[in-house]
């Protein structure tokens, strides 16, 4: 059994959200449906970089990470990607 890290915990949260007992909104999403929100987060990160606002950059990187994890979970469900590390 692998070491339980924060990354593993985050992967487990997304697995639960997409499980039978998970969130219906999450389960209805597709890669295409998430693009608009991901672009918005990247734009917000870019604006924070231009302003040298490191606190806001950190927040937006967290939001972007959630999008990466969400899309990885969708790909894994479709057996197109296995997120291991």
What domain range is 11 assigned to?
Answer: 6-77
Predicted pLDDT at 40: 98
Separation in Å, CA 9 to CA 14, 45, 85: 9, 25, 12
The pTM score is 0.81
Give tens-digit pLDDT for 10-37: 988 988 998 889 989 988 999 999 999 9
pLDDT at 77 (0 to 100): 77
CATH number of domain containing 30: 1.10.287.1080
Q: Residue 12 domain-assigned?
A: yes
pLDDT given at position 76: 83
Q: Is residue 56 part of a domain?
A: yes
In this structure, what are the phi and psi dihedrals at residue 51, rounded to the nearest 5 degrees?
A: -95, 5
- pLDDT band per the 50, 70, 90 thresholds, residue 79: low
């Amino acid at each position: 059994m692998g070491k339980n890290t924060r990354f593993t915990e985050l992967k487990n949260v997304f697995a639960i959200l997409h499980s039978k007992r998970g969130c219906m909104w999450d389960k209805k999403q597709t890669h295409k449906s998430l693009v608009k929100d991901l672009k918005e987060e990247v734009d917000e990160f870019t604006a924070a970089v231009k302003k040298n606002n490191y606190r806001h950059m950190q927040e937006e990187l967290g939001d972007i990470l959630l999008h990466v994890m969400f899309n990885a979970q969708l790909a894994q469900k479709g057996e197109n990607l296995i997120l291991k590390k």
